[in-house]
Amino acid sequence: FNIGGIYSSQTQYSHALKYYQQALLIFRELNNHTGEGIVLNNIGQDHYKQNQYSQALSYFQQALEVRRKLGDSAGQGESLNNIGTVHHQQGQYSQALGYYRQALAINRATKNRSAEGVTLNNIGNIYHIRNEYLQSLEYYRQALIISRETSEIVLQGEVLNSIGGVYQRQGE
């Protein structure tokens, strides 16, 4: 599935999906459920990047199911966050928040600080959209602390930009 990843990074999603589907068949034949979960997630990501949200959601849910059966907590956190992101993009904020909260609990339990920072930022974004600025700022501040601890420079930039957006919307 590395070939699929290369095509995906070059935004050649149709080629990527072709290789991911081949990898998925092989992993299923070999009963390699770890590989299956990863590839299902990758397929979901490529559909998501193409705004094909129903397909993305289907693959993310399949990945979540495989990862639950494996007891792959980190993978479950990733899948839950991805499912939340699809709902977020579709304007289904309550559903997104529910998935993000599940992901956050797992990320904290597994001490996956990078994933925790991303999920906190995503939750902050939901509250920002809902004009719940104090809540959004609280989640953004937590995400910022973690992004600095983990040296996640891109996330730091995203969070700082979002904090500025909150203050701008409040007229400060």
User: Is residue 44 packed enough to be buried (19+ CB in 10 Å), middle (13-18) or exposed (0-12)?
Assistant: buried
pLDDT-derived band at 67 (thresholds 50, 70, 90) equals very high
Q: What is the mean pLDDT of the chain?
A: 94
What is the per-residue pLDDT across 78-106, written as a single tens digit (0 to 9) for each?
999 999 999 999 999 999 999 999 999 99
For the chain, the C-alpha Rg in angstroms (whole number) is: 17
What is the Cα–Cα distance from 29 to 122, expressed in whole angstroms? 36
**What is the C-alpha separation between 8 and 55, in angstroms, rounded?**
16
Q: What is the dihedral of CA 142, 109, 153, 80, to 10 degrees?
A: -100
pLDDT at 17: 87
112-128 tens-digit pLDDT: 999 999 999 999 999 99
pLDDT at 81: 97
Reported as a pLDDT band with limits 50, 70 and 90, residue 1 is: low
Residue 9 is predicted with a pLDDT of 81
Mean local confidence (pLDDT), 11-35? 90
For the cut 80, the answer to whether the pLDDT of residue 168 exceeds it is yes
- Give the C-alpha separation, 99 to 34, whole Å: 22
Tell me the three-class secondary structure of 17-61, residue by residue: HHHHHHHHHHHHHCCCHHHHHHHHHHHHHHHHHCCCHHHHHHHHH
Burial 132-165 (b: 16+ CB within 10 A, else e): ebeebbebbebbbebbeebebeebbebbeebbee
